[in-house]
Amino acid sequence: MIAAVLMALTLQAAVELAPADEARAQGIMREVRCMVCAGESVLDSSAPMAGDMRRFIREEIAAGRDDAEVRTALVSRFGHEVLMRPPVETRTLPLWLAPVIFLLLGGALLSGAMRRKPRKDGL
Amino acid sequence: MIAELGRFLIALALVASLAQMVLSWIGAQQGGRSPYALAGRTASLAALVTSAAAFALLIAAFIQSDFSIAYVAGHSHVDKPLFYKVTAAWGGHEGSMLLWCLILALFGYAITRAGPAEPAFRARAVSLQALLQSLFFGFLVFASNPFDRLDPAPLQGRDLNPILQDPALAFHPPLLYLGYVGLSAAFAIAAAGLIQKASGREVARALRPWALGAWTSLTAGISLGAWWAYYELGWGGWWFWDPVENASFMPWLLGAALVHSAIATEKRGAFPGWTVFLALLAYVLSILGAFLVRSGVITSVHAFALDPERGVWILAMLGVSAVAGFGVFALRAGHLGEGEGFEPTSREAFIGANNLLLAATAGVVFVGTLYPLFVEMLGGAPVSVGPPYFDAAATPLLVVMLLLVPVAPFLPWANGGARPALRQLRAAFLLLPVAIAGIVLVWFGAPLLAVIGGALGVWAMAGAVMDAVRALPAAQSRALKFAAAGRAMAHAGLGFIALGAAADASRPPDVNSALGRGESIEIAGRTLTLSDVRRADGPNYLADRATITVSGGRAVSPERRYYWAADQHTREVGLGSSIAGDIYVSIGEARPRDDGSVVYEVRAAFHPLVWMLGLGASLIVVGGLLALTAQILIRRVRQAVAP
């Protein structure tokens, strides 16, 4: 009975890729969100839907599409939130400018502290 | 009975904390030596004892499997091993919040014993710590009582999430909370210093040991969590830039910045306002972390207890703490004084750069974690901010910091001294190209950032060794020797982590395959053969255990478990560790093939040099402990000298 519990009865035809293509596929999978999980990539997730998405990506690669085409295909099916790397566009600009803003702000503070005149009374 | 007594004790702890707040405040107004201050100390002891007793009762309820208590019923099961019954006491939301309160009270009492030397300053800090205690005890009493009854009591509990039934996870929350909540002491002391109009130097001196202790525990807690994620979540990652991890990483980054800036403030009076601000911000971000984890506003792989209503409570506590802390800061920061200027290549400048980079990283993590929520609130199309963003935006900042770390200990205070420092570091410089060449050769095709990270890791280690060689003999007291050793070890630890992370970033792709008995796969030049699968049931689960032989190494045995009480499958990873790295195998479900034979999904990975991450984290923790010891020794000497 337990064997039955542990056993999934689905038979899936897996697409076998050449090693270089498989590495490319895993690179894409690492940056694609599993849509039914909490913040996991489809490479890492064990959810059935992640398995379907992995197969979809492998099939697309096997069909000779390049990485950008695969991503576009994913976005058209699942929406923008499928990509874990937010694209650089107007509404994500604050996100990508954040490091620069923090560095400039902090740098200004630091250079202010550096230039401060030494005081006579010490401390 | 246990439940009623527990409720009563928690209510008492709230009352004691309120008394501690009021009495110590009056005591501070009267100069800190008045009977009120003494009474405040007693109240703080009462808060500690009552909350410790309540916590002990909760553990007792778990040992007895008292399922009439909702929290116990939700997180335990009679078949669970005793050890995990005990650790389940802090495995869920209510229990972990009680632990948070207990640690707050513990630090409250610790401040009465070893807080700031000046009596009024100390009484004020005790009072402010009591404010933080009261907020959280109030939360327990009114919104999140671990002793709430369940009627009718179920015959059986729902069990703790099986992936949390793990030794590393048993100690992860207490250490993490010791860190989060330890930062509350730095908060209380910083705010008290502002109210007392203490100078920046006095505040920095008073809060340094607390910040150091808290940050060291936070390091240990986060590392245990990362280690657990590595072997338990079943896909071999150790850092995911997941919201819950980010929630702990922000206070860690700010804590690291604080530990360094407080040195410059105490020794030279530099950055007084910044140091105090950091101490306030670090604890506020700790509460933000609790909010992110507990409220469920952001979904995460680690969020095990979600409840939006509680989120509002935590948000309110966050608001009160932030308004109190930053309000006082806005009013009184002027009294902290101003530092003198310094040269761009002085020790202060490098500590400043360290703080700039750490704080900017924390800022990036903050923006990246909250941006999806923000966009959603504004009604835009949803955005995902995942690891690729953080790798691109935060990691380069940390890489630049690594470049500066080894130089800083060789620089003089106030004056520029790049040239002599670099001359002393010449040997480490010579190592650098060798390291780069080595890394490029060993992991050909490694990502650029990994090559740079690896080279900088070697650079940090070499610099730390040279720092130790120079500073240890020069240290004139036992305390200074401890401090020098602590610094060198922590910086070397950073180097190990950089190397480990660089190696991990350039690991070979994982191999996923369906294997029948006797079939094999290849990874990283090793042949893995599935030789056997048999039943290996535990006390509260059923399991299939595979035996996979590895060419040129020991066999590994991954398991697939089924916990019936929680109705959940988990994977136990098979790990084959060696100096070169870990062979990492997990086994999935069984499937029939067309010919009727059974195959198992096997996922195999090779994680090169992953032990370096563990070693690096351990070095940082030991380094932090050594530095803390130095602080305690120095304090003892100061007390002996003081009249």
DSSP B152-164: SPPSS-----GGG
pLDDT band at B163 (very low <50, low <70, confident <90, very high): confident
Q: Is residue A54 domain-resident?
A: yes
Q: ∠ CA(B362), CA(B363), CA(B367), 5° rounding?
A: 120
Say whether pLDDT at B306 is over 70: no
Q: Is residue A37 domain-resident?
A: yes
Strand, coil or helix: what is B554?
coil
Highest mean pLDDT among A7-21, B19-33, B165-179: B19-33
Query: Quick check: B300 and A38 CB within 8 A?
Result: yes
**d(Cα A26, Cα A105) in Å, to the nearest integer?**
38
22-81 in chain B: CB under 8 A from chain A: none
Query: Quick check: B352 and A7 CB within 8 A?
Result: no
**Confidence (pLDDT) at B545:** 93
Q: ∠ CA(B134), CA(B138), CA(B139), 5° rounding?
A: 120
What burial class does residue B532 get, using C-beta atoms within 10 Å of its C-beta: 0-12 exposed, 13-18 middle, 19+ buried? middle
What tokens appear for B106 in the block?
């513990």
pLDDT in tens, B67-104: 999 999 988 888 888 999 999 898 888 899 999 999 99
Q: Average the pLDDT over B197-226 and give the result.
A: 95
pLDDT in tens, B339-354: 888 988 999 999 999 9
Spatial CA neighbour of B89 closest among B76, B100, B108, B107: B76
Alpha helices in B196-307 (DSSP H): 200-232, 243-268, 272-295
515-574 in chain B: CB under 8 A from chain A: 535, 542, 544, 560, 562, 569, 571
Strand partners, B523: B526
**d(Cα B25, Cα B40) in Å, to the nearest integer?**
8
**Confidence (pLDDT) at B442:** 66
Instruction: Name the DSSP class of B520.
Output: E
**d(Cα A116, Cα B468) in Å, to the nearest integer?**
33
Q: Which amino acid is at A74?
A: L
What ipTM does the predicted assembly reach?
0.84
**d(Cα B223, Cα B249) in Å, to the nearest integer?**
11
Say whether pLDDT at A122 is over 50: no
Distances (CA, A) of B632 to A63, B118, B561: 66, 17, 47
**d(Cα B259, Cα B269) in Å, to the nearest integer?**
14
Say whether pLDDT at B170 is over 90: no
Using a pLDDT cut of 70, give the percent of chain B over it. 95
Q: Is residue A1 domain-resident?
A: no
**d(Cα B151, Cα A6) in Å, to the nearest integer?**
35
Say whether pLDDT at B310 is over 80: no
- B1-162 CATH pick, 3.40.50, 3.20.20, 1.20.120, 1.10.150: 1.20.120
Query: Quick check: A9 and B592 CB within 8 A?
Result: yes
Say whether pLDDT at A5 is over 50: no
- Number of Cβ within 10 Å of residue B291's Cβ equals 22
In the block, which residue shows the tokens 């710590």?
Answer: B129
**In this predicted structure, which of A3-17, B128-142, B157-171, B516-530 has the lowest mean pLDDT?**
A3-17
Q: Which amino acid is at B457?
A: G
pLDDT in tens, B91-147: 888 899 999 999 999 999 999 999 999 999 999 999 999 999 999 999 999 988 999
**Confidence (pLDDT) at B612:** 93
Are the C-beta atoms of residues B72 and B65 closer than 8 Å to each other?
A: yes
Most B-contacting residue of A21, A114, A120, A121 (CB-CB within 10 A), to test interface = A114
Most B-contacting residue of A22, A53, A84 (CB-CB within 10 A), to test interface = A84
Q: Average the pLDDT over B308-317 and give the result.
A: 80
pLDDT in tens, B358-390: 999 999 999 999 888 888 778 777 788 888 899
Spatial CA neighbour of B314 closest among B331, B292, B336, B329: B292
Q: Is residue A3 domain-resident?
A: no
Q: Which residues of A touch B292 (CB under 8 A)?
A: none
Is B338 touching A (CB cutoff 8 A)?
yes
**Confidence (pLDDT) at B7:** 95
Are the C-beta atoms of residues B311 and B294 closer than 8 Å to each other?
A: yes
What tokens appear for B330 in the block?
């806005």
Q: Is residue A80 domain-resident?
A: yes
Say whether pLDDT at B558 is over 60: yes
**Confidence (pLDDT) at B502:** 86
Say whether pLDDT at B63 is over 50: yes
Nearest-Å Rg of the Cα atoms of chain B is 26
Query: Quick check: A116 and B383 CB within 8 A?
Result: no
- Which residues of chain B form CATH 1.20.120? 1-162
Q: Average the pLDDT over A71-96 and give the result.
A: 85
Are the C-beta atoms of residues B141 and B14 closer than 8 Å to each other?
A: yes
Q: Which residue has the higher pLDDT, B295 or B343?
A: B343
Is B360 touching A (CB cutoff 8 A)?
yes
Name the residue of chain B whose CA is nearest to A42's CA.
B235
Query: Quick check: A37 and B301 CB within 8 A?
Result: yes
Q: Which residues contact B399 (CB under 8 A, 6 or more apart)?
A: B449, B452, B453, B456
**d(Cα B385, Cα B278) in Å, to the nearest integer?**
26
What domain count does chain A have?
A: 1
Dihedral sign, Cα of residue B336, residue B342, residue B348, residue B352: positive
**Confidence (pLDDT) at B303:** 47
Query: Quick check: A119 and B338 CB within 8 A?
Result: yes
Is A48 touching B (CB cutoff 8 A)?
no
Q: Average the pLDDT over B31-56 and give the result.
A: 95
Range of the domain at A74: 10-115
Long-range contacts of range B289-294, CB-CB < 8 Å, 24 or more positions apart? B289/B180, B289/B247, B289/B248, B289/B250, B289/B251, B290/B100, B290/B180, B290/B247, B290/B314, B291/B315, B291/B318, B292/B243, B292/B244, B292/B246, B292/B247, B292/B369, B293/B244, B293/B247, B294/B93
Highest mean pLDDT among A65-79, B29-43, B161-175, B434-448: B29-43
pLDDT in tens, B387-401: 889 988 998 999 899
Q: Average the pLDDT over B459-488 and give the result.
A: 92
Name the residue of chain B whose CA is nearest to A46's CA.
B588
Q: Average the pLDDT over B410-438 and give the result.
A: 81
What tokens appear for B607 in the block?
């994680």
What average pLDDT does chain B have?
A: 89
Helical packing angle, B35-63 and B2-29, nearest 10°: 160
Helical packing angle, B119-143 and B308-332, nearest 10°: 160
Are the C-beta atoms of residues B574 and B585 closer than 8 Å to each other?
A: yes
Spatial CA neighbour of A32 closest among A69, A80, A64, A66: A80
Most B-contacting residue of A17, A85, A105 (CB-CB within 10 A), to test interface = A85
Nearest-Å Rg of the Cα atoms of chain A is 24
Say whether pLDDT at A12 is over 90: no
**Confidence (pLDDT) at B640:** 80
Q: Is residue A2 domain-resident?
A: no
Count of CB pairs separated by less than 8 Å, A with B: 166
Are the C-beta atoms of residues B258 and B279 closer than 8 Å to each other?
A: yes
A96: domain CATH number is 1.10.8.640
Are the C-beta atoms of residues B30 and B37 closer than 8 Å to each other?
A: yes
Q: Is residue A93 domain-resident?
A: yes
With b for 16 or more beta-carbon neighbours within 10 A and e for fewer, the B56-94 pattern comes to ebbbebbeebbbebbbbbbbbbebbeeebbbbbbbbbbb
